């Protein structure tokens, strides 16, 4: 991701394959929604499920949905155009 703060890309987390992480909303995973989506993508790649309690992503997720691909692409385009 262009222009993304290194601290976000390299953020360590204790969640392991098969774990289920519960968060209030996706943006709680980072400093804003974009960072939250990036962390969410990383969790899916490592086999970590995520239960989101509120917001448009509310529900239990164990795989990267198409909507996340679209959101990441839009967020990256917005970040690189600024």
The ranges assigned to domains in the chain are 17-81
Confidence (pLDDT) at 82: 63
User: pLDDT tier at 8 (50, 70, 90 boundaries)?
Assistant: very low
CA distance 30 to 13: 12
From 20, 32, 17, select the one nearest 61 (Cα to Cα): 20
Q: pLDDT tens digits for 44-80?
A: 888 988 898 998 778 898 887 777 777 777 777 777 7
The pLDDT of residue 32 is above 50: yes
- pTM comes to 0.67
């Amino acid at each position: 991701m262009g222009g993304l703060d290194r601290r976000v890309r390299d953020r360590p987390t204790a969640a392991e394959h098969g774990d289920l992480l519960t968060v209030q909303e996706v943006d709680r995973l980072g400093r804003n929604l974009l960072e939250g989506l990036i962390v969410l993508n990383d969790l899916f790649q490592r086999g970590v499920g995520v239960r989101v309690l509120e917001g448009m992503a509310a529900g239990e997720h164990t795989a990267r949905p198409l909507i996340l691909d679209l959101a990441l692409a839009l967020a990256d385009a917005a970040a690189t155009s600024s």
